Amino acid sequence: MAEAGSGRALLSVRDLRTWFPIRRLLFSPSRGYVKAVDGVSFDLSPGETLGLVGESGCGKTTLGRTLLRLERASGGRVVYNGHDLLSLGEAALRPLRRRLQMIFQDPYSSLNPRLAVRDIVTEGLRQHGQLDGSLDAVATRLLHEVGLDASALYRYPHEFSGGQRQRISIARAISLQPEFIVCDEAVSALDVSIQAQIINLLVDLRHRYGLSYLFISHDLSVIRHISQRVAVMYLGRLVEVGETRAVIDAPQHPYTQALVSAIPVPGKARSRRIVLRGDVPSPANPPSGCRFHTRCPQAMDHCKTVEPPLVRLKHNGVEHRVWCHLYSH
């Protein structure tokens, strides 16, 4: 099921599932599962940025971590550059690990406070025995790549602002020449002006090195600035995937419509904000049929019992996929 126009995929994800067992005590039998990721499929092309959006708890981080084998998948398939990622043993996985990196929301907690910046950004290279040149020279080159200079070499994370710290974690992530980076809420904790700078840096690096990103955010207004395509996630599943403009200008799924209606438009109030009723149901016990039916303003009777099919639509000639009964006839 290759996606139209995506060419040869760098990453191909099929029916991916990550379920966390629910136990009363550490070694007691499982009493069910939190179905954090529950049947997700998509392709990512080389050099492409796919934005992943959805409310808190819908499974975005778990999906990103499962793709990098930081979380164990319960089922499905992930093919990365021809490698069946989920079935590789640790030894076979090791050379691929450097190609797959992650950048987190809070660089302060992901940067070791006791290491100087030059040691932080070269840590991966040293671990992989790939430090080529003097440590200071390599670290300086990496810092230049992210808009910092050699004055940062001997300083520690707490001496930097949030935006600068995110630059340091980006330098560390690109040090091993990755191909694919999961950016998990990478700019969410930053001021709007700093967000824009970090997004520009990520776009720059993507062009320079042909990087692909899975750019996770709960904020569509951030995602629209960086992604070629957007995937919308609800309760462990994708509900809509398409080119960014198509998804934002012509959202089809009622859940996406609600998210898009909340994007602030500078200078004017949005005329029709769709406010969803109720809380997100528990992923341990997702609703039957369409998982969104309990909150959907347009829910029909069969949405409660029948799983929505994948429907392929076109918006201005561009493919757009949506899982919703509204479009299935």
Ligand X SMILES: Nc1ncnc2c1ncn2[C@@H]1O[C@H](COP(=O)(O)OP(=O)(O)OP(=O)(O)O)[C@@H](O)[C@H]1O
- Interface contacts to ligand X, rule CB under 6 A: 20, 34, 36, 54, 56-62, 218, 283
Cα 277–chain centre separation: 26
Between 62 and 164, name the residue whose CB sits nearer to ligand X: 62
CB of 131 to ligand X, least distance (A): 33
CB of 284 to Mg ion, least distance (A): 17
CB of 150 to ligand X, least distance (A): 35
Token digits for 224? 């629209």
CB of 184 to Mg ion, least distance (A): 6
- Is 105 a binding residue for Mg ion by CB under 5 A? The answer is no
Contact 305, 231 (CB under 8 A): no
Spatial separation of the C-alpha atoms in residues 127 and 48, rounded to whole Å: 28
Which secondary structure element, helix H or strand E, spans residue 100, and what is its range?
strand 100-103
- Binder among 61, 166, 217, 294 for Mg ion (CB under 5 A): 61
Query: 40 to each of 77, 184, 188, 321, how far by Cα in Å?
Result: 10, 17, 24, 13
Q: Which does 20 bind (CB under 5 to 8 A by kind): ligand X, Mg ion, none?
A: ligand X
Q: Which does 66 bind (CB under 5 to 8 A by kind): ligand X, Mg ion, none?
A: none
CB of 187 to Mg ion, least distance (A): 14
Spatial separation of the C-alpha atoms in residues 58 and 36, rounded to whole Å: 7
- Is 18 a binding residue for Mg ion by CB under 5 A? The answer is no
Between 34 and 142, name the residue whose CB sits nearer to ligand X: 34
- Output helix, strand, coil percentages for the chain, rounded to the nearest 5: 35, 25, 45
Which residues of the shown chain bind Mg ion in the complex (CB under 5 A)?
Answer: 61
